[in-house]
Every structure is written in C-alpha cells, then in structure tokens.
C-alpha cells in the first residue's frame, strides 16, 4: 500500500515537471518557483506577465500531451551549489537561485526531460511515456514561500492517475465536492454569510444557521453537565499582562491582534479562553478533594489569519471554540484523558463521524517548561489512547508551546481529514499563574491542566457538517424538520391540526396559493427531511402523505404511526 502511494507521488511530481515545461513553452517569459506532488494531485507556482485564465488550461494540457508523446527520459545530474547558482542565473530563474542558496549541502540535483531542466531532489519516472491520465483543474494565487511580504505567484493545480477509471472517479468526486461546497450551500440554504462591510473572516449566522447552532450548543451543554463539567462565560478582552503571563504574547503574538488602549492600559482581544478559566479556578482555595475540576465554555476567540487563507467557515478570524479546561492531580491525569477521549468519540459519532486520524504531537522547538513534565504529559497521552484501543501516530514537534497534545482529525464523506478535536496536557500554565490546591499533607501543590476541545471551532465544525451531509442535515439537526403542504384552502385547518399533533418538532405550513409541484420542488431544494401533503383524501381518512427528502415516492401513514418513525430518527 505504501509503495503504491509512493509510486503515485512520483507520477504526480513528474507530471508537474511536464506541466512546467508546457507553461514555459507557451509563455516564454515565465519564471519557475516550486512544483510538488500533493494529496490527490500536484501544482506548480509560476511568475509570468500572462494572467492565467481557465481557458488556458486546455491549451496547456494539449502541450503536455505533445511532450508526453515524445517519450523523454528523466535524467538526474548533480552540480555544485555554485555551479547551479550560475546555471540558473543565466536562465534568469531567480526563485531557483534563492532555493539553492538555502540548501545546506555542497551539491544539488537537477532533473532533465526533453529540453526542460529543473532543480529537484527527485525521484522521477523513467520516462514521460508513463504519464497518461491527467487533467489540469484550477488556478489560484499563492505568495512566494507563503509570505504576504513576497510576490503573488500564479498556481496551477492538476491531478494524474494510473488509469482512466481512477481519473474519471476523481473528477466525479471533485464535481460532487463543488456541489457540496459549504460556501455555496450556506448561501443557497440561507445559513450564514460573510460581508466586506463587516470584515473578511467574520461570520454572520442567519436564522436557520443560528437555529442549527442552538441545537448543537444545547446538546453540547447538556452532555457537559452530564459529564461533570461546570459551564463558564468569560469576556472577549483582557489586560495584555495576562497574555504575557500565559505565554501567548511571546509564543503566539503573530496570531493576536494589536493591543487596545483603554484608560491608558493595554488590552487584547482574546485568542484563547484558558487564562480566564485559570482565574475562575483561583477565585477559591481548592483542596485535593475538590479535584478534578472541569470548566467548559463556548468561548468566542479572535485570531489573525492572513487574508489569503480565509475560507468560508473553515478558516476565519472570529470563532467560537467548544473549550474546556480540567484541573486534576497527577494520579488522576490518565483517567481524565481517557474520559475526554471517550467523550470526543461519543460527540463525533453523534454527528455522524465514525472515522478519524489520531496523532500525538510532541514537544516543539519553541516551548517552555521542564523536560520531565513534557515526558510525563506525553506518556500520559499515549497510555490513555492505548487504553481506549485506538490507533495513533506520532507527530514530532507539533505540540503547543506549553505541552504535548492529541489531535483527532475527523474524516468526512470524501475521506478528507479535518482538525477539530484536541486534548492538551499542560504543567506550565498552572506554574506561570501559580495555580495551587492544598494536598492531603496540608501543603500547597500544583494541579495538572488539560486543555481540550471536542468539536474545535463551531464555525469549522458546521462547515464540515454542511459538506459531509451536502446540506441535507440529519433529522435532529435540520432547522425545518417537516413542511406541511395543504393542497387547497379546504385543508388548511387540517394542516393546523396535524402541526399541533406533531408537537415540538420544527414544522412549517406552506399555505401559499402556488401549485403543489412548485412547493414540493422548493422544499426539496431547501433539503427539508419530510414533506407532508394533505389533500381531501388525507383529510377524510385522517392520514398524511409523506415524501422523504431525496425520494420520488409518497407513502401514506396514520399520524400516530408517522410519529413513531420520527421518534426513531431523533438523536440517540
């Protein structure tokens, strides 16, 4: 399996070189940046006077096909760094020169096929004849080396597979992903919007979206109370000094907004909730008998994201985190982590996510705290996962500055991974804030702090939900669960009776003077789980004609039997 994945990566990287050659031949002023293989495809970044448009992609594809038919071998050569710098200077490839200057070795490798030669580690295919089933997909802007301080380049994305069937299946999947794009569905279903007048990355929740959010939040709060958590609410700003004490000012400043002057003192919009929860803990003297203490908050935080990475609900500047902080003794740590893992899995499964990638992220280079504490924290995370029989991978150096963490990345219906759930163990912030409890020996002791989020950002989680379900939410989450369509005015009174019998379900009656077919199509577009059609026949027999979303047939039920069906669809 791994070999197959590696072979596909080599195929994709080789195809990116062929695409780069095609672009350079069609647009001779082009300078080359980088062109790696990525998951599901490849891209190359170009600096050119020409502004690429979708109409250019078929031309580039055709040129690529001509190159591939030449059956050119990929030939590897080596050069000294100095010779390579001179070589690319003569070709006016300034980006390659910059890359070579950063390479720590005395020699670099180049690959050539046909007349095209590029700086590259490789490996590559033996020949271009192995490249057969490819397609160029899209064009995007990309700053050189990801920095807004650098020039904006043009990036062309493409994909390639070993068989036509695999390529066709992938293109079909991409088309379905476009149809499910949460930004498109968010507008079509009237769930949320983003406005330049408000500011990029700041979400406005519309009534239907806000109703779904309320359902999610109510579920979240109820389950936390059942699991021994206490709910908090904290401010959106705080003194700059608090963020200095927590370490965020030193380690997280690039993601924080500028200080706000209030009465001559500096305040910050909060990027995190943890220091506030510490202050609540410190408001009372705590005993070892009080631990563990579990605080939870749906806290809105603000983080600076570059405009180029903002993406609907998935990457925003203001979001609500389903945050919690647990304070426990060292002997309680492993059990608390186990319980959090089980809680995470329960919540994710409730929303329909049953597949995950789990990582233990270890100490980063820019960290604080005692190495012994880091080791104890990392071992506790590993043992807790092993206790739950879940498989995990080590993600070296990807912990947060104050501690190691477990990241649980959910997989959606397309197999894409999304970072949502996280569990972090922290010895350092309790030390920085002098957080204590009175131990069994009557002496002050320091608790261990667990930072955790089950869904992560509510905005991102909602965006993933939209795309996972294509906007057709599970019955318990749908903002409108049932719509009643009386065929004529004669059934309006009966419609009111049925709505009353449906009780607390979210029901609308569409009594407009429109054709039934039109109203049914509209309900289907809005992805309402059930349409109840009431005509003279249903009124006489005291039944309902039910059409489920996505189906073309209608079934007739007595209302009491239909209520049993709805009950089976409620959240388990």
Task: Kindly list the catalytic residues.
Answer: 274, 303, 321, 323, 325, 405, 451
- Tally of CA atoms within 13 A in the half-sphere of 447 that contains its CB: 28
What is the number of other CB atoms lying within 10 angstroms of the CB of residue 444?
12
Q: Are 348 and 421 in contact (CB under 8 A)?
A: yes
Tell me how crowded residue 3 is: count the other CB atoms within 10 A of its CB.
Answer: 7
DSSP string for 342-355: HHHHHHHHHTT---
Is residue 212 within 8 A of residue 477, CB to CB? The reply is yes
Residue 274: CA count within 13 A, CB half-sphere: 25
Q: How far apart are CA 447 and CA 49, in angstroms?
A: 60
Chain centre to alpha carbon of residue 398: 17
The tokens describing 223, both together, are: 């389950």
The answer to whether 369 and 427 are in contact (CB under 8 A) is: yes
The CA distances from residue 341 to 232, 296, 346, 538, in Å, are 21, 16, 9, 49
Question: Cα–Cα distance between 12 and 10 in angstroms, integer?
Answer: 5
Is residue 534 a contact partner of residue 520, using CB atoms and an 8 Å limit?
A: no
Contact in structure between 475 and 529 (CB atoms under 8 Å): yes
Residue 30's CB: how many other CB atoms inside 10 A? 19
């Amino acid at each position: 399996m791994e070999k197959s994945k590696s072979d596909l990566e080599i195929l994709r990287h080789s195809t990116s070189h062929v695409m780069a050659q095609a672009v350079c031949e069609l647009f001779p002023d082009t300078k080359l940046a980088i062109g790696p293989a990525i998951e599901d495809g490849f891209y190359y970044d170009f600096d050119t006077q020409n502004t690429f448009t979708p109409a250019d992609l078929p031309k580039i594809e055709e040129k690529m096909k001509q190159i591939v038919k030449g059956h050119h071998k990929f030939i590897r050569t080596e050069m000294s760094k100095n010779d390579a710098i001179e070589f690319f200077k003569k070709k006016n490839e300034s980006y390659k020169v910059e890359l070579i200057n950063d390479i720590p070795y005395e020699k670099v490798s180049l690959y050539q096929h046909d007349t095209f030669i590029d700086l590259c580690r490789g490996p590559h295919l033996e020949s271009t004849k192995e490249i057969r089933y490819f397609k160029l997909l899209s064009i995007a802007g990309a700053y050189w080396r990801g920095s807004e301080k650098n020039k904006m380049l043009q990036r062309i994305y493409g994909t390639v597979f070993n068989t036509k069937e695999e390529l066709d299946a992938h293109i079909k999947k991409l088309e379905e992903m476009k149809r499910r794009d949460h930004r498109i569905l968010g507008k079509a279903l009237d769930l949320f919007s983003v406005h330049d007048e408000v500011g990029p990355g700041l979400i406005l929740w519309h009534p239907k979206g806000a109703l779904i959010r309320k359902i999610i939040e109510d579920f979240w709060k109820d389950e936390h109370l059942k699991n021994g958590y206490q709910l908090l609410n904290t401010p959106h700003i705080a003194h700059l000094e608090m963020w200095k004490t927590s370490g965020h000012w030193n380690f997280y400043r690039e993601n924080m907004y500028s200080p706000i002057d209030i009465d001559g003192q500096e305040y910050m919009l909060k990027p995190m909730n943890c220091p506030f929860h510490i202050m609540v803990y410190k408001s009372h003297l705590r005993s070892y008998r009080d631990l563990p203490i579990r605080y939870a908050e749906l806290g809105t935080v603000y983080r600076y994201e570059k405009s180029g990475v903002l993406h609907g609900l998935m990457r925003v500047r203001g979001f609500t985190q389903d945050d919690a902080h647990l304070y426990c003794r060292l002997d309680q740590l492993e059990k608390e982590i186990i319980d959090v893992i089980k809680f995470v899995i329960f919540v994710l499964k409730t929303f329909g996510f049953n597949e995950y990638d789990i990582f233990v992220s270890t100490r980063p280079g820019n960290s604080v705290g005692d190495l012994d504490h880091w080791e104890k924290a990392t071992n506790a995370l590993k043992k807790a996962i092993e206790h739950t029989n879940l498989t995990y991978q080590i993600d070296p150096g990807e912990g947060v500055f104050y501690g190691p963490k477990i990241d649980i990345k959910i997989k959606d219906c397309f197999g894409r991974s999304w970072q949502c759930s996280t569990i972090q163990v922290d010895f350092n912030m309790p030390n920085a804030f002098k957080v204590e409890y009175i131990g069994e020996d009557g002496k002050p002791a320091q608790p261990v702090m667990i930072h955790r989020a089950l869904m992560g950002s509510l905005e991102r989680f909602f965006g993933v939900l939209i795309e996972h379900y294509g906007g057709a939410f599970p019955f318990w989450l749908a903002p409108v669960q049932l719509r009643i369509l009386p065929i004529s005015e004669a059934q309006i009174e009966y419609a009111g009776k049925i709505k009353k019998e449906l009780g607390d379900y979210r029901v609308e009656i569409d009594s407009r003077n429109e054709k039934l077919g039109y109203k049914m199509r509209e309900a289907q577009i809005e992805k309402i789980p059930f349409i109840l059609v009431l005509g003279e026949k249903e009124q006489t027999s005291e039944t309902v004609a039910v059409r489920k979303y996505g189906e073309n047939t209608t079934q007739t039920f007595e209302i009491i039997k239909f209520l049993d069906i709805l009950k089976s669809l409620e959240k388990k």
